[in-house]
Amino acid sequence: DFDIDFCQDRRDEVIAHVQDRYGAERVAQIITFGTLQARAVVRDVGRVLQMPYNRVDSLAKLIPNNPASPVTLQDAINDEPALRDAMMDEAVGRLIENALRLEGLYRHASTHAAGVVIGDRPLQQLIPLYRDPRSEFPVSQFHMKDVEKAGLVKFDFLGLKTLTVLERARALLAHRGSNVDLDNLPLDDADTFAMLSRAETIGVFQLEGQGMRDALSHLKPDTIEDIIALVSLYRPGPMDNIPQFCNRKHGQEEIDYLHPSLEEVLSETYGVIIYQEQVMQIARILAGFSLGEADLLRRAMGKKNKKEMAAQRDRFVSGATSRGVDEKLATEIFNLVDKFAGYGFNKSHAAAYAIVAYQTAWLKTHHPVEFLAASMTLDMGNTDKLNHFRQELTRLGIALLPPDINRSGVAFTVEEIEEGRTAVRYALAAIRNVGEGAMEALVAEREANGPYSGLFEFASRLDVRVVKKRQLEMLACAGAFDCIDDNRARVAANINRLVQFNASIAEERESKQQNLFGDDSTARDPELVEAIAWTPADALKAEAEAIGFYLSAHPLEAYDGELARLGVMTHADTLHLAREHGTGPFRLAGVPVARRTRTSARGNRYAFLELSDRSGHYEIVVFSDTLDACARTLEGPGPFFLEVDSRVDGENVRFSARRIARLDEMVSKSLKAFVLHIDAGESLAGLKQVLDNAEPGGGRITLSYAALSGKVVDIVLPRMFFLSLGLKAQIEALPGVRSVETA
């Protein structure tokens, strides 16, 4: 079984090469069999029972969807009260009863994503073959275990995303005239190792997890061998030796080579046995094993075969004593080697991964803009990762420019914003629900015929299959049209007209008719429907819907001063403090994103509350007592103020809520009055509408304006209001209001 990693964009080329090299009749992919899992079996049985689609779909969505750890249907029934309630219906009960019987059965045949077999003769002479109707490539009828038993060698041609990141970063650099030879980088770059020692490794292959970052901070690597060792050690079992390895490297613990003859083998790892190759060398040097015998020892240790291990122990001890090693010491060394060999890593494998890790670290150190742009392109469909990279760009002082139909590419690009300073431009295809193919057409048209100059001109130039309502809505919400009309509300209000206009242009072209003005589309452009600009809060909400997170700003930025007074920290800062100091309590704030309510085995309701602050998305568990106490608060609008406790669980920090309140309520306690500075003569109709809809409370509002005489007149409104920063923003957005002063 050979596992080989390739750039994921070029894996098909490798398979084609193998066919060409060995003959198409000797190469096949490997079959897999899909099983009926919980959601799929409910949908399939519901379809056979001819139940309404919407009913079956709602039932299926009650089952948690976690591909990494699939939930069984019975587990979903046990954990989800709504599913149990639905089963009271006779038709649903029948569906679930049948689904429980069928769950786990094979549903269909498919093709292994990476598995390939290569034979020394036409494969039809060795195994039965299958033709996948979706592919021209032959497929084995035996699955991966049985093709091995049939005598065939299995290859996994794996697509490694990081290799594609490296290639894209190199291409971005080449486009800007900087050619980097990644295969010949100096492996002793001081700046790269300094960055690794600071554990600033977001995006660095193999080294970006929190536990790995903690290990890097302790180790402070300064050679490629250190990275190879850390990649090997950071796994269950051997990771217990990381503190010893780090302490020995820094002279805080004495190095023990077990026997003087083994210093040559163990010096690079400070006496810690890490690699399978070291196990083989120890057997060869200390006990006189041949390399073949040493490999048999390595395999026996990995399999923990007691009978075989007893024979190997006798062979090792007798071989060592014949070379002058004390029998007791030889036995101790064998026991120690046996312990390490059970989880020893193949150094050649670790070295290959460490080189890739070093290449990504070098690029991030010396070319962070290109590296992060390439990294974001390879995670365009994962908004959590994109937000993670956005935070890293902010930390590094690199701008992330918004999507723009006249400047953005399909993927993330690098753009010069001033001489010597570059930024990452947001990708059009990373906007939700727009489609990569449509964005390719949009960019191709722009590159062929120049920038878009207006909304209707834009609609006239693109294929009807590209300009669809949902795509235009997402582009508008993301701000991609700001370059031609920065009133996003007006763009949104004209979307139906843009779609209709595009369709009429397409129909006209198809019929090859010319109107009175020839082919001058600007002469036919309709007038735009006017619309009042969105408030900053509404614009941010729409932007988050289109992008998956807040890009241009965050709603909590309006509360900066108030959050400081309340002692509120970002989630990222709280994570750091929790790992350093333990349980808290801590104060957080967040905009609600999602909520999942569950019932425990004892019948107590609890919830997982997903929130967003400027450092990203995070999750809080709300146990039953707190959930009951804050039920009405959670039903209302956010953002929320939270007091939380924390619990450190390995690499993870879990937060539970003590108290949840509306942030506006917390802020309003410190806001006693608004003074509105307004322009005399302006219509106050808009202000009246906002204040008529404002919540009552304990705050005063004063209108302050300069009369014609030049005297400043203050009018205190008789009503009392609930003063919040949201109300302040609404008022400030009105025409004629110059500023709102808080007191």
Q: How far apart are CA 680 and CA 291, in angstroms?
A: 94
Which SS3 state, helix, strand or coil, does residue 65 take? Answer: coil
- The DSSP result for 254-301, as a single string, is ----SSGGGHHHHGGGTT---BHHHHHHHHHHHH---HHHHHHHHHHH
Cβ–Cβ under 8 Å, residues 222 and 211: no
Q: How far apart are CA 170 and CA 179, in angstroms?
A: 7
Strands (E), 270-427: 400-401, 413-418, 421-425
Residue segments in the chain with a per-residue pLDDT below the cut of 70 = 67-68, 341-342, 512-525, 582-584, 650-651, 681, 683, 708-709
Q: How far apart are CA 354 and CA 189, in angstroms?
A: 15
Report how far Cα 345 is from the mean position of its chain's Cα atoms.
28
Q: Which residues contact 727 (CB under 8 A, 6 or more apart)?
A: 674, 690, 694, 721
How far from 497 is each of 200, 203, 405, 459, 507, CA to CA, in Å? Answer: 49, 43, 19, 10, 15
Strands (E), 198-339: none
Instruction: Tell me the residue type at 82.
Output: A
Q: pLDDT per residue over 671-699, tens digit each?
A: 788 898 888 767 688 888 889 988 888 88
pLDDT of residue 733: 80
Q: How far apart are CA 275 and CA 266, in angstroms?
A: 10
Cβ–Cβ under 8 Å, residues 651 and 633: no
pLDDT of residue 594: 84
Cβ–Cβ under 8 Å, residues 402 and 476: no
Name the helix (H) or strand (E) containing 324.
none
Name the helix (H) or strand (E) containing 105.
none
- Residue 404: closest CA among 389, 423, 391: 423
Cβ–Cβ under 8 Å, residues 613 and 571: yes
pLDDT of residue 651: 66
Whether the pTM exceeds 0.75: the reply is yes
How far from 696 is each of 54, 633, 639, 693, 700, CA to CA, in Å? Answer: 42, 17, 19, 9, 10
Q: How far apart are CA 117 and CA 506, in angstroms?
A: 50
Cβ–Cβ under 8 Å, residues 347 and 394: no
Provide φ and ψ at 391, rounded to 5°: -65, -35
- The DSSP result for 645-694, as a single string, is EEEEETTEEEEEEEEEEEHHHHHHTT--EEEEEE-TT---HHHHHHHHTS
Q: Which two tokens stand for residue 368?
A: 């962070």
